Amino acid sequence: SMNRVAPDGAILVFDYTDTTLIDRKLYLFRIDGEITFKRFRCTDGPNRLEPDSTLPDYKTIYPTGPVEVIGRVVYIVQSV
């Protein structure tokens, strides 16, 4: 769901201690026991978790229940 910023095989490095949500930053979230990697958005509409994908199957998530912020993504490493 995030292949534009983290292509298949990329390695994500995230900070477990950074759970303060900032618009447009990338985070790992836990929703209903599932972990997802998305961009947090809070401007121009309701709070939402947006994919950044070339595939149209992935849709924006508008949380209606509890969402746990696992941490903010601080590095994305990919092989060349």
Token pair in block for residue 64: 């209606």
Q: What is the pLDDT along the chain (80 residues), one digit of tens a residue?
A: 999 999 999 999 999 999 999 999 999 999 999 999 999 999 998 999 999 999 999 999 999 988 999 999 999 998 87
Q: Please give the C-alpha separations between residue 10 and each of 23, 52, 61, 68, 76, in angstroms, as whole numbers.
A: 23, 14, 23, 23, 7
Which pLDDT score, from 0 to 100, does residue 6 have?
95
Distance, CA of 15 to CA of 52 (rounded, Å): 20
Strand 68-77 to 26-31 pairing? antiparallel
Which pLDDT score, from 0 to 100, does residue 46 have?
94
Backbone angles phi, psi at 31, to 5 degrees: -130, 120
Which pLDDT score, from 0 to 100, does residue 29 have?
97
The answer to whether 64 touches 48, Cβ cutoff 8 Å, is: no
Which pLDDT score, from 0 to 100, does residue 77 have?
95
Which pLDDT score, from 0 to 100, does residue 23 have?
97
Which pLDDT score, from 0 to 100, does residue 80 have?
77
